[in-house]
Amino acid sequence: MFYTESKNAEEMVREQILSRDILDPAVVSAMRSVPRHAFVNQKYADLAYSDQPLPIGLGQTISQPYVVAFMTQALRISPKSRVLEIGTGSGYQAAVLSKIAREVYTVELLETLAKKAETVLKNIGIRNVRIRQGDGRDGWPEFAPFSHIIVTAASEDIPKELEKQLAIGGRMIIPVGNRDRTQYLVLVQKEKDSIRKEKILPVRFVPLVKDSSKHVSKKKGAA
């Protein structure tokens, strides 16, 4: 195992965020105020503020702090925003978004993770995040349209439903690509008569899977 000294949120922000050109004051302050240690397993507590993703169980990971900050900054959310996140995982990215946006809706495929994230968010007093268990490729039609959408698992395509549920003038950030190819964060900007897509950063995310049966059978090693 590797060893990293224990770091706190202040050091994390100085060494991994400000030093790498994440300068939006709202994002910096959100990164400072969310207790990342509350979202990682006890055995990784010492690594909670280190510069890397960490396992959160069921083969999933909590993203590297810099990637969370980068995606949040690229979304350009404000206190008026209604944000949809796909891939709740630990709930950390949702917590960071919730410090800036008015409301955050987040969808997680794996029920165990969705429940755990709900408990953590409640315990740290975050009330403007709503979690649903389900396939995030369907978005959350009841609450659409969203001013912003953030997908935190890599997809081979941009799901049509998500494009549909993005408001006109809205922004979506989604990692596109598969495990073997390079994945890129793609910024999608929706206007009245057009959709603009641009690659903004090479990344590496766990896959956005299509349904839970596929997810479970994969883990069991079935066909």
Which parts of this chain interact with ligand SAH (CB under 6 A)?
60-63, 86-87, 89-90, 92-93, 107-110, 113, 135-137, 152-153, 206, 208-209
Element (H, E) at 199: strand 195-203
- Tell which residue, 149, 152, 176, 140, has the closest CA to residue 39: 152
Which residue is catalytic, options 19, 50, 63, 212? Answer: 63
Q: Give the residue with the Cβ less far from ligand SAH, 158 or 196.
A: 158
Alpha helix ranges (H) inside the chain: 9-12, 25-33, 65-75, 92-98, 111-123, 160-165, 212-220
Least distance from C-beta 39 to ligand SAH, angstroms? 6
Contacts of 67 (CB under 8 A, 6+ apart): 53, 203
Least distance from C-beta 196 to ligand SAH, angstroms? 25
CB 54 within 8 A of CB 47: yes
Q: Give the residue with the Cβ less far from ligand SAH, 62 or 121.
A: 62
Least distance from C-beta 134 to ligand SAH, angstroms? 7
Contacts of 96 (CB under 8 A, 6+ apart): 27, 30, 31, 34, 68, 69, 72
Residue 213 known to be catalytic:
no
Q: Give the residue with the Cβ less far from ligand SAH, 31 or 110.
A: 110
Matching residue, tokens 């968010």? 121
Least distance from C-beta 191 to ligand SAH, angstroms? 27
Q: Give the residue with the Cβ less far from ligand SAH, 70 or 92.
A: 92
State the catalytic residues. Answer: 63
